[in-house]
Amino acid sequence: MNLLGATGGWLAHLLERYADHLRTASAKRRWLYAFGAGICGALAMAPVYALPLLVVAFTTLVLLIDGAKATQSPRRSAFITGWFFGFGYFLAGVYWMAFSFFVQADQFAWMAPFAVMGMPAFLGLFIGAATALYAAIRAGGWARIFLFATIWTVFEYARGHVLTGLPWNLAGQALAGNALTAQTAAWYGAYGLSLVTVFLAVSPAAIFAGSISARLSGVFVLLAGAALIVGAGAVRLAMPEPISDARVVLRIVQPNIPQKEKIDWSYWQRNFERQLDLSRGAIPPDARLFVLWPENGAPLLEESQQALETLDSDLPSDAVLLAGAVRRERDSGGVERYYNSIAVVEDSGNGRIVTGHYDKHHLVPYGEYLPFYDSMQKLGLAQLTPYGDAGFTPGSGPRTLTAGGQSFAPMVCYEAIFPGESYPSDARPDWLAMVTNDAWFGDTSGPRQHLDMARLRAIEAGLPLARSANTGISALFDGKGRLLARVPLYKAGKIEAPLPPPLTKTLYDRNGDWVFLLMIITCTLFGFYLRNE
């Protein structure tokens, strides 16, 4: 017992020295520590999932802001400290974006360093603004824990919406590596999951302030909160589920086509046949087959009668094909417009035809369209986007389509990262159909993080999600986000599995981000109440 007490005392002394060192660090050291803490935070995401580092990162950041508050310019110092944290966090979190510039290296490789540095520098502004606001509110003890978590998450929400939004690497995404720890997203969505995650991650900061009981409470809250998340997940996963009467079989295709060959028109026929080879095969009697091809799997499919005839002869009878495609149309003024789409191909009784389509509405800035096109053209950057002068034209918004007796909500790539935008609120589908092409980003953390966000969309909606990715990771999730099947990264193959049944509407599906807003209000009131005690 004496040895245990001595060890505990030594550890407490070591932690106190660590906290004092951070609080009293010089400005340059503070920035360096913040940058390192940000990198630690990113390592809690896929593919590392080092969740304890999230606690180290956020606790370190709060202690560094404590030091910034003691300077002559607390808000300015806190902003810079937060920005360095954000720069490290996003540098380690979205570095994979640079890989896309090397696909056509002769044209775009020179831009990679600007992307690698520029995007984290911009996204770091949101964290800098959050820490500056936090520093402006003088609070100690548990008040600062509530207020820090609230402010951080509000700025995460802003990051997901400002300038079309980029809700990548939300703090709660660290819990999306498996279905067990991500289940509570069904109640309050990805932003609510972030609020809970940040609150727990920063709660050990209470160790370094207040009485002995206050210090112990920080550890208790972290451990109890983690246990509740796991326990709630286990209970929800064990709950009975509806049984589907529909005999629907999914065939999810992953052709593993290198990106250079995918965008080269001379490979179009070979790429088409590769996907078709993976789509062939008999199905059980009385079952309806849905075949899913990845993003841009069949460009201009609707215009190729030969391709439609080939599909008619090679696909199983009555099979429905959902193919990532590019389509074009001319408006009344004769202007040609291109859309990044999903084409629905069905048997009309007189051959295969495109019976419907979905046009991607949430386009990637600078990748699929050019904001400020005239200015970008003058700078010689108009060639950044494919198809047409200014890139793709956005669709009208989320849609629910019906084919083969099933309703489904299509999503194209980037759209799957946005919580609550998978389908119209008044048209809930039976399942979610996602097509993507992550080949641009190589064997990096990007495709793996993208997969985690798809899991969250399934949990939030309580709907199964089928994901066809050109080079991976193709997957099938049930309505609780359990991974039922997958094709690994950079492997050709297919998933053939029955479609899981949809669950009843989740709390998040019924109320959207209103639950998250209520959580924000509650945490803010608690924070100011404790601040004034």
Q: How far apart are CA 214 and CA 206, in angstroms?
A: 6
360 as an active site residue: the answer is yes
- What are 320's two structure tokens? 């429905």
Q: At what angle do helices 51-69 and 112-136 cross, to 10 degrees?
A: 60
Decide if 415 contacts 360 (C-beta within 8 A). yes
Look at residues 406, 409, 133, 144 and name the one whose alpha carbon lies nearest to residue 288. Answer: 406
Q: Cα(482)–Cα(129) distance, rounded to whole angstroms?
A: 36
Do 325 and 299 contact (CB within 8 A), yes or no? yes
Cβ count near 270 (within 10 Å): 11
| Cα–Cα distance, 183 to 179 (Å, whole number) | 6
Neighbours of 192 (CB within 10 A): 25
| Residue (of 346, 51, 341) closest to 171 by Cα position | 51
Residue 495 β-bridge partners: 252
Q: Minimal CA–CA distance to 425: which of 505, 480, 518, 502?
A: 505
By the 10 Å C-beta count (0-12 exposed, 13-18 middle, 19+ buried), 102 is classed as: middle
Cα distances (angstroms) measured from residue 431 to each of 184, 355, 403, 510: 20, 19, 12, 16
Say which of 40, 69, 156, 295 is annotated catalytic.
Answer: 295
Q: Residue 70 is inside which H or E element, if any?
A: none
| Choice among 69, 156, 413, 480 that is catalytic | 413
Nearest residue to 467 via CA among 444, 442, 497: 497
Of 40, 156, 262, 360, the catalytic one is 360
The distance from CA 84 to its chain's CA centroid, rounded to whole angstroms, is 23
Q: In terms of residues, how long is the chain?
A: 533
Phi and psi (nearest 5°) for 506?
-80, 165
284 in helix, strand or coil? coil
Q: What residues are annotated to the active site?
A: 295, 360, 413
